[in-house]
Chain A
């Protein structure tokens, strides 16, 4: 399985010395599929490897560097549109990692710009973004209404000239999810950057990454999210710091999720951990890639897809949602 190959290369870059051509081919395919090839390229930088693998990874490093520049520029543009409103604008995920110069940002692929703003400021934020050139991504009326009623973010907006998406969050999990993170605390304890934008506190960054990995998604791209967590945890290498992190996660009702993240991180990227039976299902799902980068184990994938919805919605609402989506021709993603 090339998922395991990828995890081993990230954990122990020197292990790639033993790879043959087929091994390199699988490793690169899996890393591209998990959108973590830039990170892998940084991890393997300077190690001896076949010239063609070095060229491919050098391209990935260059792409990630350009991605970093773009992400920072996009954050700057959002700041110019929103900071005049006098509200805190908190960068989230990849953009926050590179803006704060964190190891988690090294080589990281960054897609959309994710920001967190106070819920009561949403109408003003929406108006300011539309004024500054962002537009609604074409969505059907059901999706739009769904976002506005049930999601923790505005429907996605895209900038008409720069072609980049922005996700405007007012908290880090959908209101329908069981854990209820303390959005006011996220904002209150956020840290200012030199340019007036903000990032979450170190503890809250981990909590958000954990929420994103377990309580929000269907574990697609999970290896990358877990790698983010692994890097962010470097800041918590003393028992005291870890205890503070645990306390903070409980405030956001994410305590159990954090414990699972710590176990999976130790198992996959660290020195090993004792896993529960449920943990093993997560590991199976996380490592499900073949030598062509395809996700394997369709049953486990479908189960996690359903689970992601189960976590987000009460049963009757889930039934209604899946019925509407099915009628609209939505299929389980491949």
Chain B
């Protein structure tokens, strides 16, 4: 029920005094209300729940954490996956 799907804003429009947008979800496009997103821009990624964007995806944070996870991956590759290590602290 609380699922929100990340999608890209591909068009902006105004209707009934509400900021609305067309959101692309990997090829499928639907309308969403953008009233809760300050200064939405075409190309922004937003998390959409029941037709409302509830947050903007922070691209820098996403890249940073993913980089961190990927680096953990590489370190493990070097160490060897089955090698025992001290307890992580």
Asked whether A and B interact, the reply is no
